Chains A and B, each alone.
Chain A
């Protein structure tokens, strides 16, 4: 009868969870919707805004250039550049976004012999997208002008114009597309899995402990023959289920929405980003993250059990998000690689390992060390949760 009770508690908790709107929203709806909204929604809006900004004409100002009328005239003819009259307060105008850039033409630029190197200065609002578009247009004009002048001179000297570009420099990738994707995007999937494992477990953990205290059903269940160990294990398995379902839905949703986004980009005739991450890699990430989900579920149950109410539990759990996000984000930073020491730091170790797995790199010693150490942390968290369920001062805290 005894162990059978874990299943009875689990099935009852599952039935209640499936009838709870808040659990369904946090476990199912949010992970399904968050990525389509971010990629297809926010992504396409951002792309269309950038596209629109790049097509808009830029208001600019020409400073000087009286002795270079041909350059000034040509600059005025450039498509998508609107030249406003010169003014002394051009910096304020750039700062107030009345103009997007100002270009200072040095004296004698048009007639320079090529012995001196006068500098054309472009004044911009650093960080402002429209200002950078204006600067790019001006820069392109002057580069073309410089090349044209150089070609003219070479021609005058009867020299080939190929002298301008005597050789080319090219970078060549020698690593597989999977590894490139792993290095570039590999940090995102583990981050997503880790954060979703935590957020998916949060609400059910609070509901099944502090929520039960708040609804005065804790004493009801404690008066039944189920042992406290089996009771907490039944609750724990439900929280773990929610954690894994949330992470799985989030990753599936991300995969589907990125495909939809690619399709959308292709239709728009824009270059799409292909992320060649295989199903096997994603599944191995889940396998490595499993003990981490166990650890989160048990830790959340332990912390929530301290609280007298759902609201109090929320205030205890919120700081936990930061503790989890910091190492998960740290793994995404460039240059951080898996070392034996880092293999023992919870969350960071799984995050770094997952990055390697996505890239198709399997260091079995690291995998074993990280999997076992995370299993030890998870077992400790479950043990702590069971201990807490046996403490009267925690269960009947008033």
Chain B
């Protein structure tokens, strides 16, 4: 389970002064469900997920990830998560197998367990044909599979995906979407950010709409449709964010 409690993040910019990227965001993401964080570019999705992954430290507030406080025990949090984004690339000079093994070892797996886990994942993701190929020689799809294997090697209970399909072709994107579904079926807690409405509709059990760093609306797709009297998710999104955008322009 993920429980965000008033998460805030402010950055200092030399030209613009203090910038609030995320402002008191709170939500709960249950095990065995997918929470979709929906927002435009710059809405605060990446910053929120980076805080949950303890890559960034919150300015205020905190979150519990699989029962571990992100501020108090960041290393325990990272041992409980698999984090995948377009900014989490592979080491080009390692082979696919070495890449996955490296992260398995950093997650404290002993050599026997690591071998079993790697063999199992490579078989399941059909990666055996390129396990000894260097990552810089892999196709986009192969890279995606290797990244997935990297996040799965220590069998984390929580998965965090930051715009995982951004820039991918349809085949690679489908691999990711199928993987996210599989995580839910295996009882994992899944949170992912996107600005692609179709992905949200296909995958999410709960949707949070984030804009200008604030969580403006939250609920199941059915709840949001009822509340905003719209069937189309894109229309719901526009109804939620437009008043706040208008205020800003004025």
Which residues in window 199-229 of B have CB below 8 A to A? none
**A225–B76 alpha-carbon span in the complex (Å):** 7
From B30-38, B82-90, B120-128, B230-238, give the one contacting chain A.
B82-90
Is A222's CB under 8 angstroms from B55's CB?
yes
Residue B118 interfacial (CB < 8 Å): no
Q: Which of B11, B83, B91 lies at the interface centre, i.e. has the most chain A CB atoms within 10 A of its CB?
A: B91
B156 to chain A, nearest CB (A): 10
Which residues in window 303-362 of A have CB below 8 A to B? none
Residue A12 interfacial (CB < 8 Å): yes
Is A217's CB under 8 angstroms from B89's CB?
yes
**A224–B75 alpha-carbon span in the complex (Å):** 8
Residue B92 interfacial (CB < 8 Å): yes
**A12–B108 alpha-carbon span in the complex (Å):** 15
Residue B131 interfacial (CB < 8 Å): no
**A15–B105 alpha-carbon span in the complex (Å):** 15
Interface residues on B, range: 20 to 34
* B residues less than 8 Å from A20 (CB atoms): 93
**A12–B101 alpha-carbon span in the complex (Å):** 10
What are the interface flags for A103-130 relative to B under an 8 Å C-beta threshold, 1 for contact and 0 otherwise?
0000000000000000000000000000
Residue of A nearest to B160 (CB): A223
**A217–B81 alpha-carbon span in the complex (Å):** 17
* B residues less than 8 Å from A392 (CB atoms): 56-57
Residue B172 interfacial (CB < 8 Å): no
* B residues less than 8 Å from A222 (CB atoms): 55
* B residues less than 8 Å from A223 (CB atoms): 53, 55, 78, 81, 83, 88
Which residues in window 71-92 of A have CB below 8 A to B? none
The one of B79, B88, B94, B106 that contacts A16, using a Cβ cutoff of 8 Å: B94
What are the interface flags for B39-72 relative to A under an 8 Å C-beta threshold, 1 for contact and 0 otherwise?
0000000000010010111000000000000000
Residue B26 interfacial (CB < 8 Å): no
A215 and B92 contact, Cβ closer than 8 Å, known pairs A1-B108, A8-B105, A225-B108: yes
The one of A219, A220, A224, A396 that contacts B107, using a Cβ cutoff of 8 Å: A224
The one of A220, A226, A396 that contacts B90, using a Cβ cutoff of 8 Å: A220
Is A225's CB under 8 angstroms from B78's CB?
yes
Residue A252 interfacial (CB < 8 Å): no
Is B93's CB under 8 angstroms from A16's CB?
yes
Which residues in window 212-233 of A have CB below 8 A to B? 215-217, 219-220, 222-227
Residue of B nearest to A395 (CB): B55
Is B89's CB under 8 angstroms from A216's CB?
yes
Is B89's CB under 8 angstroms from A220's CB?
yes
Residue B103 interfacial (CB < 8 Å): yes
Residue of A nearest to B56 (CB): A392
Is A19's CB under 8 angstroms from B93's CB?
yes
What are the interface flags for A1-28 relative to B under an 8 Å C-beta threshold, 1 for contact and 0 otherwise?
1100100110010011001100000000
The one of B89, B92, B106 that contacts A8, using a Cβ cutoff of 8 Å: B106
Residue of B nearest to A18 (CB): B93
A111 to chain B, nearest CB (A): 86
**A225–B77 alpha-carbon span in the complex (Å):** 8
Is A219's CB under 8 angstroms from B78's CB?
no
Is A12's CB under 8 angstroms from B92's CB?
no
The 5 closest A-B pairs by CB, nearest first: A223-B83, A216-B89, A220-B88, A225-B79, A16-B93
Q: List 25 A-B contacts (CB under 8 A).
A: A2-B75, A8-B102, A8-B106, A9-B106, A12-B94, A12-B102, A15-B93, A16-B94, A19-B93, A19-B134, A215-B92, A216-B87, A216-B88, A217-B91, A219-B85, A223-B53, A224-B103, A225-B78, A225-B79, A225-B107, A226-B106, A392-B56, A392-B57, A393-B11, A396-B56
Residues of A within 8 A of B (CB): 1-2, 5, 8-9, 12, 15-16, 19-20, 215-217, 219-220, 222-227, 392-393, 396
Q: 4 new A-B pairs (CB below 8 Å) besides A20-B93, A215-B91?
A: A216-B89, A219-B50, A223-B81, A393-B11
